[in-house]
Amino acid sequence: MSFFSKVKEKLTGRTEMVTEKFRDGLSKTRQSFSEKVNNLVKRYRKVDEDFFEELEDILIESDVGVTTVMDLVEKLKDEARTRNIKDSDKLKDVIVEVLSDFLTKSKDETKLNLNPDGLTVILMVGVNGAGKTTTAGKLANRLRNEGKSVLLAAADTFRAGAIDQLQVWGDRAGIDVIKHQEGSDPASVVFDALKAAKSRHADVLLCDTAGRLQNKVNLMKELEKIKRVINRECPGAPQEVLLVLDATTGQNALNQAKLFRQASDVTGIVLTKLDGTAKGGIVLAVRHELDIPVKLVGLGEKINDLQVFDADAFVYGLFSEMFETPDEEKNEDSSSQQL
């Protein structure tokens, strides 16, 4: 059985809706990447240095990142030599296998770290425009649907409209938002939110924060102050510091991640707008170069389109058209229409 077939088999135990969300959400990346790889395989019947050089170019164009691309291609060369693969068509499955290895290091790394014995505090960080406030609202809704009692803290007090925007998401999800006036001290908002969460015996407090990268020194000091308040009032918290990155910005997202990691002890990545870009390879770059797990991905604009990252579903969504026969593609299309 091929590696891709094993991936498909593993997905049979998961909901069809999740698999289809990844397949649909990655359509732009798949059409760009898979088509180029297929054309490459057709042009190069034999695996040689020229084949790998063109594969490097394809991966870089998909925003996988130069460092990650070099490591990926070296691994592919090693596997081709070890398995004595000389036919480029047979290398397609190895490409899938190696990319899959780069995406995840343990089964549990994509799970949110929730406190089983009390309040869980999740800090949302990232630059303005990445979708941080929207993600906070969607995540709050997701956790509420899982049976958790949730509060939102509107600690992005400097961006015009941020507090109102979070309130809109809170209203949609039926979740209370703790807020102050625009321009207030963000740490004081978080302090009041922690008090409210404790008094209401909430399970999760989600804190939206500012993201003014042009004032990055002040921004990082602000985040450090918020974390001190959280740790003082709720020792051991925050359980998660989720960095929200806009997938459409490609390598800029990777640079932002490096900056925030220095100051925020980032525990996980949320990649938004993955459905709106052909550069979904940024997932690989973030995972491999930063050694921070991608925990959630945005695959659409609806409130339920924030998904837990699933490496198998991602691989399936990225490569499905490379391995499916015309009959399988017809079946996929008809099932999608039924959904």
Pair 152, 166: CB distance under 8 Å = yes
Residues 206 and 262 in one domain: yes
Q: Is 209 annotated as a binding residue?
A: yes
Residues 193 and 325 in one domain: no
The pLDDT of residue 332? 46
The pLDDT of residue 330? 46
The answer to the question of residue 243 being in a domain is yes
The answer to the question of residue 4 being in a domain is no
Residues 95 and 143 in one domain: no
The answer to the question of residue 113 being in a domain is no
Residues 91 and 60 in one domain: yes
Q: Is 126 annotated as a binding residue?
A: yes
**What's 136's domain CATH number?**
3.40.50.300
Q: Is 80 annotated as a binding residue?
A: no
Residues 213 and 308 in one domain: yes
Helices 3-11, 88-103: inter-axial angle, 10-degree rounding: 50
Q: Is 133 annotated as a binding residue?
A: yes
Q: Is 333 annotated as a binding residue?
A: no
The answer to the question of residue 324 being in a domain is yes
**What's 69's domain CATH number?**
1.20.120.140
Range of the domain at 59: 16-106+317-338
Spatial separation of the C-alpha atoms in residues 125 and 130, rounded to whole Å: 10
The pLDDT of residue 207? 97
Residues 230 and 169 in one domain: yes
The answer to the question of residue 10 being in a domain is no
The pLDDT of residue 19? 80
The answer to the question of residue 208 being in a domain is yes
Domain count across the chain: 2
The answer to the question of residue 5 being in a domain is no
Q: Is 13 annotated as a binding residue?
A: no
Spatial separation of the C-alpha atoms in residues 182 and 61, rounded to whole Å: 41
The pLDDT of residue 16? 63
Per-residue pLDDT of the chain (339 residues; tens, 9 = 90+): 777 788 878 777 666 677 888 888 888 888 888 888 888 988 998 899 999 999 999 988 888 888 889 999 999 999 999 999 989 888 888 988 888 888 876 566 788 999 999 999 999 998 888 999 999 999 999 999 999 999 999 999 988 899 999 999 999 999 999 999 999 999 999 999 999 999 999 999 999 998 875 556 787 888 889 999 999 999 999 999 999 999 888 888 888 888 888 767 899 999 999 888 877 888 888 888 888 889 999 998 889 899 999 888 888 888 887 776 544 444 445 444 444
Residues 272 and 193 in one domain: yes
Residues 225 and 137 in one domain: yes
Residues 146 and 209 in one domain: yes
Q: Is 132 annotated as a binding residue?
A: yes
Q: Is 272 annotated as a binding residue?
A: yes
Q: Is 172 annotated as a binding residue?
A: no
Residues 94 and 137 in one domain: no
Residues 129 and 220 in one domain: yes
Residues 330 and 246 in one domain: no
The answer to the question of residue 1 being in a domain is no
